[in-house]
Structure 1
Amino acid sequence: MTDRVLMPPRTTAHWLAILTACGVDAATAQLWAQVFADTLKPDSFSRGDDDLEDFLPNALHESTMLTQLEENLNYTPDALLATFGAHRITPEQAQAVGRVPGKHAADQRAIANIVYGGEWGRKNLGNILPDDGWRYRGRGIPGITGADNYRRVGDLVGQNLEGIPDLLAQPRFALEAGIEWWEDRIPDSMLGETTALRKRVNGGTLGLAEVQRLTRLVRPVLETNHG
C-alpha cells in the first residue's frame, strides 16, 4: 500500500483566503472556511495537495461555489430530455413535469422519481421504492445520488445517510462525505486528468471549462496558503 502524502496544515484564515481567491462570495467563504479547517486533516487525501488541487475545483463547481448542496431539478421539458435522455424520461413525461413558462412550474419531486426511478434507478442506483428517486436525489459535494450510494458513503463516514439523507445538505457532513467519496472513487492515477475526472464526477464533460478555470486558480493559491 502506498504511503499517504500529508497536506500542510491550513487554518480558517488560510481557507478564507483560498475560497475568496477562487471566487466564493465573502459570506459563504466565511462560513465554509471554518468547515474546511475543521474537516480537512493532513491525511484526508491519499496524495495530499495533488488530490486537493482536483477535488476543490470539482467541489466548487458542483455546489455552485458552495451555495447549493441539493440538486436543482428545475428543468424545462427540452432540458430534461437533453440531460437525461428519452430512455429515462419520455417527451410526454417531460412536458407534464418540466417547467413550462406561463403554464406550470417544474414538479421536481416527480422529475426525480422518473429520472432516478424505474428500472434504470433500480439497476444503477438501488432505488426500489416509488419515492426513492426524490429521497435520494443529489445532495452534498459532489452530489451523492441513489440509495446505494447514500448507503456506501454513509458507511465510509460512519453516518446513517440512507436513513437520514438530509444530513448531506449540511456543510460538515457534505464535505466529509465528499472527501470519502473522492477517496473511494478517484484513483491516484487519474489525478491531473481533468477531463477524465469530470466524467467520473459528473458522468460527462458538463462544466469542464469551469473546472479547468478553477484548477488554474487553485494550484497557486494552495501553494501560498498553508502553515
Structure 2
Amino acid sequence: MWPKADPEKMKPILDELNRDLIGYKLDTRLRQAHFMAQVRQEVGSSFSLREQVEYMGAAALKQIGYYRTHHKDADIDGYKKGKGPANGEVIANRMYDDNYRGEKYKLGNTSPGDGWKYLGRGLKQLTGKSNYQDLTNMYSTIWPDEKVDFVKNPELIEKPKYAVRSAIRFWLKYKLYDVADKGAEGVQVDAITNIINKATDSYAARRQHFIHAYKIFI
C-alpha cells in the first residue's frame, strides 16, 4: 500500500493495529482491505499523519469553506510550485472556520485558531474540534486503562498509537465493518466513503485503492 514509506515509520502503526484485530473489528481480510483503502486516501502516498494544508493549491482551496466565496484569497494563500510551502496556519484557519461552512459540515471550530489546531490528523485525518471532543469522550470506553484529552492535546493524534486509535474509534462508532462485510464491490467502498467524508471528490480514487488493497489482502 505504501511501497515508499519508511518501514520504521510503519512498524508502530502495524503493531497497534495487530494488537487487537478482533476488538478492532479488523479480523477478516475483507475488512482489512476496506480499512486500508480508506487510510491510503486519507494519509496519501507519503503516509503523512498530519494534513499537509501547506501544499494545497488555489484550485483545491476554492472548493472548501471560506475560500468558496473568497477566490482571490485562495489565489494568494494557496501553494505555488517552486515557492516553498504556503502558510498552513492561515489556510487551515480560513478553510475550517465554521462561519463559512454549511450547517451539515460544521466542525465545532468557533474560536480563532481552531482550524489550525484541529486540522486533519491520524489514519483517518480526524478534523475539527467537535470530532476531537468526540474522540476524547469515546476513547476511554474502548481503552478503559487510559484517559486522554485530545482537545487539549490535539498533536497526540500524530503519534502512531493515537493515529491508529482515532481511526479505529471511527470504524467502530459507525460500524463500518458491517458495511465492509457486505462485499468487495465499488458500492461498498462508496458507502464507507460516504460516511467518512460525504462531500469528498475522492470516491473514484478510494475505489482504486480498494482494488489494490483487495489484491494484497485477499
Give TM class, smaller chain: 0.7 to 0.9
Question: Post-superposition shift, 1:208?
Answer: 3.4
In the TM superposition, 1:116-127 aligns within 5 A as: 116-120=96-100, 124-127=106-109
Deviations 1:74-132 (CA, angstroms, capped at 9, x unpaired): 22223311x31667451132133223457785221111111111424695111121100
Equivalent position of 2:111 in the other structure:
129
Contact map agreement 2:123 2:167 (CA 8 A) in 1: yes
Equivalent position of 2:73 in the other structure:
93
Aligned length in residues = 200
Q: Of 152, 164, 167, which aligns to 1:178? A: 167
Q: Of 71, 88, 107, which aligns to 2:51? A: 71
Contact map agreement 1:53 1:215 (CA 8 A) in 2: yes
Contact map agreement 2:65 2:94 (CA 8 A) in 1: no
Equivalent position of 1:28 in the other structure:
6
Q: What secondary structure, in the 3-state scheme, does the structure 2 residue paired with 1:125 have?
A: coil
Distance 1:62 1:103, change over 3 A: closer
Aligned amino acid, residue 196 of structure 1: A
Greater Rg over alpha carbons, structure? 1
Question: Post-superposition shift, 1:63?
Answer: 1.0
Equivalent position of 1:149 in the other structure:
131
Q: Of 42, 56, 61, which aligns to 2:21? A: 42
TM-score (ref. length: structure 2): 0.77
Contact map agreement 1:156 1:180 (CA 8 A) in 2: yes
Separation in structure 1 between the aligned mates of residue 165 and residue 109 of structure 2, nearest angstrom = 23
Identity of aligned residues (%): 22
RMSD of aligned Cα (Å): 2.8
Separation in structure 2 between the aligned mates of residue 163 and residue 122 of structure 1, nearest angstrom = 26
Separation in structure 2 between the aligned mates of residue 68 and residue 146 of structure 1, nearest angstrom = 18
Equivalent position of 1:5 in the other structure:
none
> Can you give the 5+ residue segments of structure 2 that lack an aligned partner in the other structure?
141-147
Distance 1:28 1:207, change over 3 A: farther
Separation in structure 2 between the aligned mates of residue 105 and residue 53 of structure 1, nearest angstrom = 33
Equivalent position of 2:33 in the other structure:
53
Q: What secondary structure, in the 3-state scheme, does the structure 2 residue paired with 1:32 have?
A: helix
Aligned amino acid, residue 213 of structure 2: V
Separation in structure 2 between the aligned mates of residue 112 and residue 85 of structure 1, nearest angstrom = 10
Equivalent position of 1:216 in the other structure:
211
TM-score (ref. length: structure 1): 0.74
Aligned amino acid, residue 14 of structure 2: F
